[in-house]
Structure 1
Amino acid sequence: MTHGAHPTNRRQMPEALAADVFDPGLAVAWAEIARADPATLFDIERAAMRSAVPHRQREFTAGRIAARAAMGRDLAIPMADDRSPLWPTGANGSISHAGGWAIAIAGQPEQMLGVDLERDEPLPGEVLDSVLTPTERAWFGSDADTWARVIFSAKECAYKAQYPRSRQIFGFDAFEITLNPSRGSFHAKFQQAIAPFAMGDRLAGRFSRAGGYILTGIVA
């Protein structure tokens, strides 16, 4: 059992989401936030959470529990100065949390990996305007509100997947999302050049909605 791991009622885990999004060969792990004990963190991880409120500490802990389970290695995953996870040598992955769950995926260092978990709830109006491009809004028309959270999640996922290569921070308008709801797939298209990515480059991903959650994933 990995550092801080705890038994989990697997029937409560939104596993169906991951089965729809990721191939069986990818390492995926979940952890319950409510059962995550910050005392089980490695010292270097705990230092980053020293001033955080208790719920944030549990979110962070659950993410690290899931990440260690996905890696299959009981090693620390500190937080970098830019708040991204510092994966151990030879490891790579992505972490997300929402509602009562944290999820992590792990793979090879050369892969681009992104995961985002969201509660399936409408986006607030002020956030909606900053997330959707005019093209995205026009594409869905009157259904834009229904799909806005999926687009939000896809952009978060794409940002995580590309960040280890670009190390650049940018806004939602840097990506334009094309969804294929019948296939549960999406493409995130760069709307500007963000080295090493060129304007027009695309990242392909998948999404699923079930049990009050949205899960998006990219493996490239």
Structure 2
Amino acid sequence: MPDLAAPDLAALAAAARGLLPGTAAVAATDPTQPAPALWRGEALPNAIDARQREFAAGRHAARQAMEQLGCPAQAIPIGADRAPIWPTGLNGSITHSAALCLAVVTQAPRFIGIDLEPATPLPPDLWDTILLPDECATLARAPDAPLMAKLVFSAKEAAYKAQYARSKTLFGFEVIHITLGATHFTAQFTQDVPGFAAGSTLGGRYTQTQGHFLTVVTA
């Protein structure tokens, strides 16, 4: 069950550090609170107030992570593909829910993808959209199948973010197959994607913290 207590940002950041390489920097912010103003080039036009707060909280967290690396805080514009445009020499990933925001930044060329999802069941009507048939079959044998389905969804999101910095390719959930372990998972490509052959894999790790699943993939 999700935690009912107020989010502990320090605990979230600590949980993320436990999953990430030691060379990565991480920072957490609260998207429900007003964030510092966006920097030049970071506009998010036509977004509702809640989305604006989440966007600003993510950029604020990313700049905190940059400073942890000893780099100057810099603007992170949004690209035509909606992905962050990271400063030269850096790569990173930003994720948020309605209650939490997390950013990780690392030195290029390492790629990182992170994802936060509330630890609640994945609605049954989404299973066929997100899960491959054999993923559904495997989860059907688990006593907590709807909850594990949400974890698989989060793992696919993290894997997609990690690979996108290399492939620059949009694709659907069917391109990534997830195999869950006790604390790790494997993301396998089911078809060729630029930079990744069908059958190649990315390694991921996960934990449950602050009422959320947190998944991390490095490439």
Deviations 1:86-121 (A, max 9, x none): 001111101100131110111121112110011111
Query: Hey, what's the Cα distance between the residues in 1 that align with 2:209 and 2:115?
Result: 14
Q: CA deviation at 1:135?
A: 1.3
- Output the amino acid matched with 1:107: T
Structure 1 length-normalised TM? 0.88
Structure 2 length-normalised TM? 0.88
Alpha-carbon contact 1:99-1:119 (below 8 Å) kept? no
1:56 counterpart = 2:51? yes
Query: Hey, what's the Cα distance between the residues in 1 that align with 2:47 and 2:9?
Result: 31
Equivalent residue in structure 2 for 1:43, among 8, 29, 40? 40
Q: CA deviation at 1:24?
A: 4.0
Query: Hey, what's the Cα distance between the residues in 2 that align with 1:64 and 1:170?
Result: 25
- Output the amino acid matched with 2:126: V
Alpha-carbon contact 1:112-1:162 (below 8 Å) kept? yes
Judge which range, 12-21 or 169-178, deviates more: 12-21
Q: CA deviation at 1:13?
A: 4.4
1:119 counterpart = 2:114? no
Which runs of structure 2 are paired with 1:111-150 in the superposition (5 Å)? 111-143=110-142, 144-150=145-151
1:67 counterpart = 2:62? yes
Query: Hey, what's the Cα distance between the residues in 2 that align with 1:34 and 1:61?
Result: 11
Alpha-carbon contact 1:114-1:158 (below 8 Å) kept? yes
Paired-residue identity, %: 41
Alpha-carbon contact 2:16-2:214 (below 8 Å) kept? yes
Query: Hey, what's the Cα distance between the residues in 2 that align with 1:78 and 1:180?
Result: 36
Q: CA deviation at 1:19?
A: 3.9
- Output the amino acid matched with 1:154: A
Alpha-carbon contact 2:10-2:28 (below 8 Å) kept? no
Q: CA deviation at 1:12?
A: 6.1
Deviations 1:13-54 (A, max 9, x none): 4235314422444211111112233x61113113xx231100
Alpha-carbon contact 1:21-1:215 (below 8 Å) kept? no
Q: CA deviation at 1:74?
A: 1.7
Query: Hey, what's the Cα distance between the residues in 1 that align with 2:21 and 2:158?
Result: 17
Instruction: Go from structure 1 to structure 2 and tell me whether the alpha carbon gap of 1:67 and 1:31 turns closer, same or farther (over 3 Å shift).
Output: same
Judge which range, 68-77 or 136-145, deviates more: 136-145
What corresponds to 1:17 in structure 2? 15
Deviations 1:174-215 (A, max 9, x none): 01001102xx10000000011121000000010001231000
Judge which range, 163-172 or 132-141, deviates more: 132-141
1:28 counterpart = 2:26? yes
What corresponds to 1:171 in structure 2? 172
Which runs of structure 2 are paired with 1:151-170 in the superposition (5 Å)? 151-170=152-171
Alpha-carbon contact 1:96-1:103 (below 8 Å) kept? yes
- Output the amino acid matched with 1:212: G
What corresponds to 2:181 in structure 1? 180
- Output the amino acid matched with 1:180: G
- Output the amino acid matched with 1:70: A
Instruction: Go from structure 1 to structure 2 and tell me whether the alpha carbon gap of 1:164 and 1:71 turns closer, same or farther (over 3 Å shift).
Output: same
SS of 2:41's equivalent in the other structure is helix
